[in-house]
Structure formats: structure tokens, C-alpha cells
Structure 1
Amino acid sequence: MLETAEVRRQLTHRLAELRKAQAQRRAAAETARAAFEGVLEREIAPTVRQFAQALKAEGFTFSVQTPASTVRMVSDRSSDNVVDIVLELGAAQPAVVVRSAYTRGRRQLEDERTLAQGDAIASLDGERVLAALLDVIEPFVER
């Protein structure tokens, strides 16, 4: 049988490790949030707006919305057809994620792709955002 003192010592050590890891995750989340806010205004939102304008010129109308810390492109045909670019803080490492949702008949289909993680968030540029949008646009423009 284990000694009570040994159990407490190991528990105390583990709790200290967990607190340290939690503090590191919080710091990483704050750094990612600050980086995302900058790149959101500078690169992501303008690129999504340009993309929506180009789609409109091709006959596919989308509205661009910018709710809190998100860029959302919504089809004017169906509000169920959306592309969101968001900062996801729930994973082990903060990540910028492109989520798309669209309908086919009565089915609601969803897709999620990681655009950048961790320190790479600060270096996101319009080219990478455009490439991600081009990857997810197919179901929205099928006729």
C-alpha cells in the first residue's frame, strides 16, 4: 500500500504541472487572439470581401459579415450556405479555421479546415486566405 504522504506529494506535483500548462495555454491563446485581430482586419476581411465581389461578378451573390472576431460569407440564395473564418481556441494549439456549411436537399453538410496554427497565425496573408476560399467554394457554385 502507498504511503499517504507519497500520494499527496505526487498529486501536488501533478497539480503544479497542470497549473503551469494552463497558464501557458492562456498565454498562447492571448497571443493568438491579438495576432488574429490584426490579421483579420489587415488580410482576411479584405480578401473575403474581394472574393465575394468576384463571385458576384460571376453571378453568385454572397454577403460578407464581420461579427465579433469572425468573417462570415453568406449566400444570398440560402442563409444555410456559409463560410466562416474564425479563431478556434479550444484545441491544444490555437488555430484559424475555415468552416463551411451548405445544404444539399434536406441534408446539411459541413467542412472544417485549418488555415494556420500557433505562431503561423500572425503571418497569414491574403494568398493563403484566397487559396482556402478557392478550396471550399465548389459546393456553393454548383448548379
Structure 2
Amino acid sequence: MLETAEVRRQLTHRLAELKKAQAQRRASADAARTAFDAILEREIAPTMRQFAQALKAEGFAFSVQTPAGAARLVSDRSSDNAIDVFLEVGGAQPAVIVRSAYSRGRRQLEDERTLAQGEAIGRIDGERVLAVLLDVIEPFVER
């Protein structure tokens, strides 16, 4: 049987480790939010607007919405068909997620991809955003 003092010592040590890790996660999430807000305004939203204009030129009506802390490319035909780019801070590392949601008949389908994680969030550029948009656009333009 273990000594009570040993159990408490190990518990105290583990609690201190968890508290330190939580503080690091909070700091990492704050840094990611700051980086994402800058990238959202400078790279993501403008690239999505250009993409929407190009889609309209090809006969596909899409609009860009920028709710707080995200960008959304939404079909003008159905608001259920959309591509969202947002920051997720709930995981082990903050990540920029691209979620596409579209309907086929009565079924609602979704796909999620990670655009960048951790420190790479601050290095997202327009080319990377365009590449992921080109990857996820297929179900939206199928006729």
C-alpha cells in the first residue's frame, strides 16, 4: 500500500503540471487568435472574395460573409451550401479549419480540413487559401 504522503506529493506534482500546461494552451490560443485575425483580414477574406467573383464569372452565384472571427463562402441558391474558414482553439493545438457543408437531396454532408495549426497559422497566404478552396469546391459546382 502506498503512503498517503506519497499519493499527495504525486497528485500535487501532477496538478502543477496540468496548471502549467493549461496556461501554455491559453497563451497559445491567444497568440493564434491574434495571428488568425490578422490573416483573416489580410489573406483569407480577400482571397475568398476573389474566388467568389471568379465563380460568378463562371455562372455559379456565391457570396462572401465575414461574421466575427470567420469567413464564409455561401451559395446564393442555398444557404445550406457553404464553405467556412474559422479558428478552432479547443484541441491540443489551435487550428484553422475549413468546413464545407452541402446538401444532396435531403442529406446534409460535411467535410472538414485543417488549413494550418499552431505557429503555422501566422504563415497562411492567399495561395494556400486558394488551394484549399479549389480542393473543396467540387460538390458545389457539380451539375
Q: Assess same fold via TM > 0.5.
A: yes
Q: Distance in 1 between matches of 2:112 and 2:30?
A: 23
Q: Distance in 2 between matches of 1:58 and 1:71?
A: 22
In structure 1, what residue type is equivalent to 2:138? E
CA distance in 2 between partners of 1:12 and 1:110 (Å): 43
Match of 1:47 in 2: 47
Aligned residues: 143
Structure 2's unaligned 5+ residue stretches are none
CA distance in 2, matches of 1:91, 1:102: 25
State the AA in 1 paired with 2:40: L
CA distance in 1, matches of 2:37, 2:105: 36
Shift of 1:97: 0.7
2:96 corresponding residue in structure 1: 96
Please identify runs of 4+ aligned residues in structure 1 that moved more than 3 A.
none
C-alpha displacement at 1:2, in angstroms? 1.1
1:63 deviates by: 1.2
Q: In structure 2, what is the Cα distance between the partners aligned to 1:56 and 1:90?
A: 35
CA shift for structure 1 position 126: 0.1
Partner of 2:66: 66
| 1:76-126 Cα deviation digits (max 9, x unpaired) | 111100100000101101111100000001110000000011111101000
Instruction: Name the amino acid aligned to 2:66.
Output: T
RMSD: 0.5
The amino acid of 2:28's aligned partner reads A
Q: Which structure 2 residues correspond to residues 1-143 of structure 1 after superposition, within 5 A?
A: 1-143=1-143
In structure 2, how many angstroms separate the alpha carbons of the residues matched to 1:28 and 1:77? 39
Share of identical aligned residues, percent?
Answer: 81
